[in-house]
Amino acid sequence: MCVCVSVELRCYINPSTPCHTTPHCTISFAILTTIQTSFLFFLSHFLIMDKIHSHRQVAVIKHSLFDQGYLDEQFIQLEELQDDANPNFVEEIVTLYYRDSSRLISNLDHTLERNPLDFNKLDTIMHQFKGSSSSIGAKKVKAECTLFREYCRTRNGEGCRKSFQQMKKEYAILRKKLETYFQMARQAGPKETALRPK
C-alpha cells in the first residue's frame, strides 16, 4: 500500500513520467498515504506509550517498595549483578530466599508453640532469618527480626510472639509486592532494568 502510495506520489510530483493515473486517483492516493502514515504513527505511538506506561508502572512499584522501606540498597546490588550470563538473577535469588525463609518461619512457629520457650533456639533461628533477609534487602522484615531478637534476649515471650506476628505480616506484604513487581517487569519487557529509582 505504501509502495502504491509512494508511486502515486512520485507520479504526482513528476508529471513528466508516464503515469496513467488520473488526478483524482492521485489525490485519493495522497489521502490514503496520509491516513496510512497517521495510522502508523498513532499505532506506534500507542505501543510505545503502552510500553513506557508499563515500564513506568514497574518503576512506580519499585519506587514504592523502596520509599516505603520494604527494600534497601541490597536489592539494587542484586539488580546490578544481573547480566547476560544470569538474566533472571534477581528473581532467582528472591526465589531462594522464599524457600529458605519459609522453612525458617515454620521452624519458628514450631519453636514458639513449645512451653516453656527456648529463647536460645529462637534467637538462633531468627539470626539465620535475619541473615537471609539481608540477602535481598528486606528492610522491614530485618527490622522486625532485630526486635524479635531483643525480646529473646530479655526473655520476653509475649513480646516475641507479637513481634513474630508482625514480622510475618511484613514478610507477607513484601512477598506480595515483589510478586507483583516481577510480574509487571516480565510483562513490560527487558527495558525495565534501565528504569531504576535513584
Partner 1 sequence: MTLLSNSMDNGCFSSPRHEAFPAGLRVLVVDDDPTWLRILEKMLKKCLYEVTTCCLATEALKKLRERKDAYDIVISDVNMPDMDGFKLLEQVGLEMDLPVIMMSVDGETSRVMKGVQHGACDYLLKPIRMKELRNIWQHVFRKRMHEARDFESHEGFEALHLLMNGSEQSDDGNIFAVEEITSIKKRKDADSKHDDKEFGDHSPTKKARVVWSVDLHQKFVKAVNQIGFDKVGPKKILDLMSVPWLTRENVASHLQKYRLYLSRLQKENDQKSSSSGIKHSDSPSKDPGSFSFLNTASNKQQSDVVIDSFSPSDGSLLQMDAPSHEGDLKRILSEPTTEKRRASPKSSQMSLNQPFSSVESSEASHAIFDCTIQTQYSWGEFPKGPLKEEQKTTVQLEDSFSQLPLHGTRHHIQVDQSQSIASINSNPSITEEEVAPSLDTKPLYAGYKSDYVSPVSSMGTAVDTFPNQSKSLILNDQSPEPIFTSNLGLKTDGFDVDCISDLDFYQRSLLLCGDAASAPLEEDLNFFLLQTEWYNMNFGQQNIDISECYDPRLVAEAPGYFYDSADYSSVDQSLFIA
Task: List contacts with partner 1 (CB under 8 A).
Answer: 73-74, 77-78, 80-81, 86, 89, 92-93, 96-97, 99-100, 124, 127-128, 130-132, 134-137
In the complex, minimum distance from the CB of residue 185 to partner 1, in angstroms, rounded to a whole number: 19
Q: For residue 42, give the C-alpha cell.
A: 498513532
Nearest CB to partner 1, comparing residues 85 and 194: 85
Nearest CB to partner 1, comparing residues 44 and 86: 86
Nearest CB to partner 1, comparing residues 64 and 74: 74
In the complex, minimum distance from the CB of residue 152 to partner 1, in angstroms, rounded to a whole number: 13
Q: What is the rounded distance in angstroms from the CA atom of residue 33 to the CA atom of residue 68?
A: 51
> 6: phi > 0 → left, psi -120 to 50 → alpha, else beta; which?
alpha
CA atoms within 13 A on the CB side of 106: 5
In the complex, minimum distance from the CB of residue 39 to partner 1, in angstroms, rounded to a whole number: 47
In the complex, minimum distance from the CB of residue 145 to partner 1, in angstroms, rounded to a whole number: 9
Q: What are phi and psi of 71, to 5 degrees?
A: -125, 155
Query: Which spans in 68-88 are helix H?
Result: 73-81
